[in-house]
Amino acid sequence: MFSPAVLGQVFVDGIGLSAIYILIALGFTLLFGIMRVVNFAHGAFAMLGGYALYYLYGNLGLPYLVAAPAAALIVAFVALLLERIVYRFFYQRMFQSMIGLLGLDMAIMYIAVIVWNAEERSVPPSTDALLQLGSLVFPAQKLIIAGIAAIALLAFYVFTHYSRYGLAMRAAAQDVDIAEAQGVNSTAIYRLAFFIAIFMAALAGGFYAQTYALSPFVGEPQLMIAFIVVILGGMGSIPGVALGGLILGFANSFLGTFYGSAASIFVSFGAVILLLIFRPWGLLGAKEA
């Protein structure tokens, strides 16, 4: 049962899942860390990313390496309209954002049902090629997804640590009043952080749709994934998101392979409950005074 070939497959699947989970959760924790917004509509934007990839790649036939980022960019640019008319009224208002953005999530989801109906669709894989490493055989698509996600995460790291606007985002996350006193335009920084967060959610949503299936309701499990990852790692902690995504991705791959999806879900939520009881600030989060 625990043969090297099967364990190797679990490892490869874990890499792919972890990449998707980290992308989904990173956008979620970015909005919370900078604007103190609990984005209950996060999964809806991931769902829209899946549909954008479905049309650009599945229908129009654009090259995959063009279609994947282009789909995420389209969703992020369209989302800027919602940033202007909805999100900006919830910045620094954590509890109000929970209720307001839950309503937005439901609205987007059921508009998607009206537009596309509830039928499940499948997004074609980026390639049908299989890779063989010894006795291990696995789809090349999993490594392509992990590679694109790794590039996106590396670009995000470089941006936040070495660019002027990235450093301004980090300053605003620490203390927006002090950042504004130093000349940071908080409105522009909020808009930029929102764009990046939605881009990553939509990119992950396209990968998720390829891995599982696409329907107007796929945003809900992705929202739950984001919650679990940020709770594991610590709300607002970007290193915590990376750690939480790796833990959840490899745990789901292992448990799902050997014990089924029900066991995977049970253990995931059980771990979250225990963590909230004994370490509510997460594995790498900061304990509040």
User: What's the pLDDT score for residue 235?
Assistant: 77
User: What's the pLDDT score for residue 101?
Assistant: 95
* Listed residue (259, 214, 237, 176) closest to 25, CA to CA: 237
List pLDDT tens digits, range 72-106: 999 999 999 999 999 999 998 988 999 999 999 99
Contact of 197 with 30, CB cutoff 8 Å: yes
| CA dihedral sign, ordered 50, 55, 60, 66 | negative
How far does CA 249 lie from the centroid of its chain? 12
List pLDDT tens digits, range 230-259: 888 887 788 888 888 999 999 998 888 888
Confidence grade of residue 289 (pLDDT, cut at 50, 70, 90): low
Confidence grade of residue 285 (pLDDT, cut at 50, 70, 90): confident
pLDDT beyond 70 at 2? no
pTM (two decimals): 0.92
